[in-house]
Amino acid sequence: MNICVFLSASDLPDRYTRPAREFAELLGKGGHALVWGGSDTGLMKVVADGVQEAGGRLVGVSVEFLAAKARKGADEMVIAKDLPERKGLLMRKADAIVIMVGGTGTLDEATEILELKKHGHTDKPVVLLNTTGFYDGLKEQFHRMEDEGFLTRPLAELVFFAEEPAVALAYLEEALGNR
């Protein structure tokens, strides 16, 4: 599988890096490819290192204004002209999406893929990896949106919430037939 991971490029504490690294190692050992923002910094570097060291492929999509931070030695690296193009390329190259901890860019990417799914423009499985409860508030908000009629599809059809890396990957492998 080509698994796109939306996540932060910031340097983060161990409570975030350890589960991200665990997911990356599982992804690589499973023979899957990481599709990611291409950065060789922060949490993006942690995940890319873990995938590569475990034998997985790296497919990066950076953006012109961040090209200097793009990872050297990725199996594939594309430089998009702007963030919207980058987001589109990331989604097109992926069979599935995982949302890890991140800031406003990650939240933007997450809500766009869910909006596309809501309107039937993609059927790719989406997992929100809720490391140490980072997304508890967002999960609560999504449930409120569903309860109050703001979602035209059930939340369970849009996103799977996983608390642990192994559960996230198992869900994706089952959803896509472990290809």
What's the pLDDT tens digit per position in 128-174? 999 999 999 999 999 999 999 999 999 999 999 999 999 999 999 99
167 to 10, 14, 17, 22, 74: CA distances (angstroms): 24, 20, 17, 11, 27
Whether residue 53 is predicted with pLDDT greater than 70 in this model: the reply is yes
% of the chain exceeding 70 in pLDDT: 99
Mean pLDDT of the chain: 96
Quickly list H helices, the chain: 14-29, 42-53, 83-93, 104-118, 136-147, 155-158, 165-175
Whether residue 103 contacts residue 10, with contact meaning beta carbons closer than 8 Å, is answered with: yes
The token pair that represents 53 in the structure block: 């060291």
**Please, which pLDDT band fits residue 177 given cuts at 50, 70 and 90?**
confident
pLDDT above 90 (res 179): no
d(CA 30, CA 33): 9
90 Cβ contact partners less than 8 Å away, ≥ 6 residues apart:
4, 6, 35, 36, 37, 61, 109
> Whole-angstrom Cα distance, residue 88 to residue 80?
10
